[in-house]
Chain A
Amino acid sequence: MYLILLSIFVPMAAGLCLLILPEKNIVRARLLSAVSMAYLLTAVLVTAALTRCYDVSYTLFHLTASLPVCFHIDETGVLFAALTLIVLLCAGFFSFAYMKHEKKEKRYYGFYLIVFGVLNALCFAGNLITFYLFFEILTLTSMPLVLHNGSREAIMAGLKYLFYSLCGAYMALFGIYFIWKNSSTLAFTAGGVLHMTTGGNISGPNSLPGAAAGGNTAILLIAACACLLGFGVKAGMFPMHAWLPAAHPVAPAPASAALSAVIVKAGVLAVVRVVYYIFGPDFLRGSWVQTAWLTLTLLTVFMGSMLAYREPVLKKRLAYSTVSQLSYILFGLAVMNVTAVTGGLLHVLAHGFIKAVLFLVAGAIICTTGRTRVEELRGIGKEMPLTMWCYTIASLGLIGIPPTGGFISKWYLAIGSLQSNTPAFAGAGPVFRWLGPVVLLVSALLTAGYLLPLTIHGFLPGADYDYAHLQKREPSPWMTVPIVILTALSVLLGLFPNLLTDRIMGFVSTLM
């Protein structure tokens, strides 16, 4: 069980050491080799922890008498931890080449490693208070990645990220507080920890004296809403998504990849834990909280795609795309039946890989050509064919064209939504049954609209393109290899999904 602690604290310690070391006398090659060793060590530790410490619980210390800080690896944790590991490793190696022309590299790698450790801690957290603790630490330690290049724009974006996240965290704390009062433990248990008496009323050992029988339920629903909105800030749900398009363009590309692919998934993980492991879907199904949540997610899906479609700067476009895609996942979670949740969790993986590819490609483009706007990128496909092929394949995945991973997840999401009003899966109102797939379809069309022009104009720039000055500018292998790996993974996810889907469906049904 010490593997759990090591896999969390080794990268954090490595990052801290890097930060504290003085700035001068750093040979770049040595720095990079030290960082790679740290990455590989962490990878080994995490894999070991996942395989050998599965289903092991470990309490670190007690914050107060009734609030322990403990870790516990379960299926959900395995899923998110695997995603974190793969994406952060790839983006990490990508940044070796990308950061060559940025300054203060050491600081970047230091915070990157710390964020790695904190994300591991989040995946392995065993109860809500541990999760909240590391959630706050995540906000604080990922902020320096956002404002890395120190320009005024970056600082404003970093501040915006910070304040949105802090406000969200406090809203969630409000909800957590009421949960604590109405349950005997905050540990993550499949199916929820609230006490249900016969008749479906909630009572707890610390119920407010004199509260009416239904009173607790009302407060708990409000607490659930607060938690969803609060953690939804991190996951970019409308109306608290405004930090995403501000933070992504200013961060260095590998940091944007990490942000979009993994750090926002922390918000998704929070929602999964709160809804399925603390409240339990039975409590929320059919309530106004679920209806509101479904409405917000569908609204975000549509709105994110629309805003992406109209955005000229490439990285900002991808940021809006993240907003939209995350709400696909949240929609799946909100429908609360086995198929939809499976679809959501599959999309966590698929979107993680795909979005990482897209951002890394954007980074490669910026690195080699220095251009950030889509309209300037005609003919880029001829200059960087391998990279742009990966981009195309990833885009197809995001749109949802078989046989990529994105198709599988969207399929499950749509089926889950259609099934949502049969008696076996009672849940969301009749409207959402067909509204969900419709919005998903429209959004898929918009996704094609905002992702494919780059491909089309890149490979087929038209007659007026200046072929004489074309030069092959494939980026270095440090950049291309991670991109290819991630693309390959996203395709493999689509070609051989059954192994994964069966496993996920298996444990999701235990949650219902």
Chain B
Amino acid sequence: MDFVQNFPCFSVILCLFAGILSSGLKDKAAMRVNTCLLGIVTLLSGATLLYTLQTGQSFVYVMGKFPAPWGNEIRAGVLEALTALFFCVIMLLSLLGGRHKLLEEVESGKTYLYYVLTDLLLSSLLALVYTNDMFTAYVFVEINTISACGLIMIRQNGRTIEAAVRYMIMSLLGSGLLLLGLCMLYDLTGHLLMSNMKESVARLAATGQYEIPLIVAIVLISVGICIKSALFPFHAWLPDAYGYSTVSSAAILSSLVSKGYIFLLIKIIYRVIGFDIYGDTRIIDVLFAFGLMGMIFGSLSAIKENDVRRMIAYSSVAQIGYIYMGFGMGTEAGMTASVFHILSHAATKSLLFIAAIGLTDVSGGSRKFIELTGAGYRNKWAGAAFTVGSLSMVGMPLFSGFISKLLFAQAAVQNHVKMLPALIVLGVSTILNAIYFMKTVIRIYTPVGYSAYPSITFVKMRVYAVTLVAFILLNVILGISSQPVVDMIRQGLAMFS
């Protein structure tokens, strides 16, 4: 066994330990530990990615000396390593970009708690990505929920606490359903390791025994995860949570937390239930329908918003709808498109949040559009970054959004029944996206004669500007040279099951 195979396990455990360690440190030290940790884990994930690309197959890592089916396992392939790498990079950039706001908004002396929470969040995300065991997945889903709740309410004002409560309620509803479905599936198959469960499920589906309980279990698991990842119509908590929390929380939540759950769902579809059996249950039709509705309603709600951060949050609802639409196609191409959109959306949405905070900072802290007029001139970097993010969302060629839309269209064409609604809604939602994003871009670049607010120069916000540039580069790289990434995703999905 190569040393590299230890890396996934190391990453998770390192994050947990860093979290525990940071709980005893002061603010600055905790921040440094956090940044180091993220750097190390990025390197580890990158190494794992290279290793899996080289060997061309995924490897199974047994935790402890207990072999399957009694022990716990981690499995890493190209897709997992790529996702883990991406998550680490996005988290690092989000934390860097939101650092100055964190120091402003959270009382000093309490900032180390934030870094404890992010370490735990990272550990749970990595565990969700790598795990091969269902119950471990559930436990880390709960750790994810709790850390995310902490991230929302670290900034103490009435809105965030209420948002955190609403978030917890919806999340716990989802967890409850997930747990129940999980227990039923354990009951039916007798295993907790995903690979063993898959064989059992295949056998059950072939003989037709326990058909209804199997379908019920699958439905419960799917609905549970859908509630947790804010698919329409379970998205009510999203605008408050993303809109009012501190900006790096918003970026991390929108890009990573919901995507972690979606990744878990993909894993369950491929590795526990089996792609074909899942398609037979017709749940994907329901996911498809809700995805389409989410795309439309998310965009419509965004158009009505008067607050820039809530507008971006509603845009997240629409983008999650895109991902579920890709699921709903029920083909390999649809899944590839969804996974690419996970990566692309993570990069773009965090960029938008971090850029938006720069714009509101130079408008006296107000987020209302009327105050943001001309903000693009006062903070040039944030304005440029916001423009890049918007263009990517709208689907301008050269940016990652265009490639995701292209992949979705390609996937749609392969499925005769769903092709027309998918293409039509794709077009309509693109136009709706253009409406609210382009309106905002024009507004921030409309010059105001006399500005009550001061401008910001580069010297004052070096880290912030560098983060924005990194985000823009990431977006453009995904847009221009997307082919290697798409190939990696395809390869990863092939070796996923």
Contact = CB atoms under 8 A, between A and B. Distances in A.
B372 to A, nearest CB: 14
A63 B427 contact: no
B431 A159 contact: no
Contact of A136 (B397, B413, B423): B397
Interface in A141-170: 144, 147, 150, 155, 158-159, 162-163, 166-167, 170
B439 interface: yes
B425 interface: no
B480 interface: yes
Contacts of A64: 403, 406, 482-483, 486
Given A64-B403, A104-B447, A181-B413, A162 B438 contact: yes
B397 A63 contact: yes
Interface in A197-250: 208, 210
Interface string A166-188: 11001100100100010000000
A136 B439 CA distance: 17
A63 to B, nearest CB: 7
B451 interface: no
A162 B434 CA distance: 9
Contacts of A63: 397, 403, 480, 482
A208 B406 CA distance: 17
Nearest to A152: B446
Nearest to A139: B396
A96 interface: no
B187 to A, nearest CB: 41
Nearest to A23: B377
Interface string B40-63: 000000000000000000000000
A62 interface: yes
Nearest to B430: A170
Given A150-B446, A155-B442, A167 B431 contact: yes
A65 interface: yes
Contacts of B398: 133
Contacts of B413: 177, 181, 208
B427 A170 contact: yes
| Max count, chain B CB within 10 A of own CB: residue among A64, A133, A140 | A64
B447 A150 contact: yes
A61 B484 CA distance: 14
Contacts, number: 57
Nearest to A66: B483
B435 interface: yes
Contacts of A162: 434, 438, 442
A132 interface: yes
A62 B423 CA distance: 25
Nearest to A64: B483
A29 to B, nearest CB: 24
Interface string B457-491: 00000000000000000000000111100100000
Given A132-B397, A181-B413, A166 B442 contact: no
A428 to B, nearest CB: 31
B381 to A, nearest CB: 12
Contacts of B483: 62, 64-65
Interface in B398-455: 398, 403, 406, 409, 413, 416, 423, 427, 430-431, 434-435, 438-439, 442, 445-447
Given A64-B483, A65-B483, A136-B396, A170 B442 contact: no
A142 to B, nearest CB: 14
Contacts of B447: 104, 150
Given A155-B442, A162-B438, A166-B431, A61 B480 contact: yes
A476 B427 CA distance: 49
Nearest to B405: A173
Contacts of B409: 177
Nearest to A181: B413
Nearest to A154: B446
B406 A174 contact: no
A158 B427 contact: no
Contacts of B434: 162-163, 166
Interface string B235-266: 00000000000000000000000000000000
B309 to A, nearest CB: 22
B40 to A, nearest CB: 33
Contacts of A174: 423, 427
Contact of A163 (B406, B435, B445, B486): B435
Nearest to B413: A181
Contacts of B486: 64
Nearest to B409: A177
A181 B409 CA distance: 11
Contacts of B445: 144
B240 to A, nearest CB: 30
A159 B397 contact: no
Contact of B397 (A61, A133, A147, A171): A133
Contacts of B397: 63, 129, 132-133, 136
A24 B383 CA distance: 20
A167 B435 CA distance: 10
Contacts of A163: 431, 434-435, 438
A147 B447 CA distance: 11
A174 B435 CA distance: 19
Interface string B367-396: 000000000000000000000000100101
Nearest to B449: A150
A104 B448 CA distance: 12
Contacts of B446: 150, 155
B442 A159 contact: yes
Contact of B442 (A65, A104, A158): A158
A132 B406 CA distance: 14
B460 to A, nearest CB: 16
Nearest to A206: B413
B49 to A, nearest CB: 21
A44 to B, nearest CB: 28
Nearest to A62: B483
A133 B438 CA distance: 18
A159 B439 contact: yes
Contacts of A166: 394, 431, 434, 438
B8 to A, nearest CB: 30
B421 to A, nearest CB: 14
A167 to B, nearest CB: 6
Contacts of A65: 483
Nearest to A144: B445
Interface string B166-207: 000000000000000000000000000000000000000000
Contacts of B423: 174
Contact of A170 (B391, B406, B431): B431
A219 B372 CA distance: 45
Nearest to A61: B480
B250 to A, nearest CB: 27
Interface in B282-331: none
A62 B398 CA distance: 11
B203 to A, nearest CB: 32
Contacts of A210: 416
Interface string A461-490: 000000000000000000000000000000
A163 B403 CA distance: 21
Interface string B95-120: 00000000000000000000000000
Contacts of A159: 438-439, 442
A155 B447 CA distance: 11
Interface string A356-393: 00000000000000000000000000000000000000
A132 B439 CA distance: 22
Nearest to A210: B416
Nearest to B407: A64
A105 to B, nearest CB: 13
7 contacts: A63-B397, A104-B447, A150-B446, A166-B434, A166-B438, A170-B427, A174-B423
Q: Which 6 A-B pairs have the closest CB atoms?
A: A133-B397, A65-B483, A166-B434, A64-B483, A136-B396, A177-B409
Given A162-B434, A174-B423, 6 more contacts: A129-B397, A163-B434, A163-B438, A177-B413, A208-B413, A210-B416
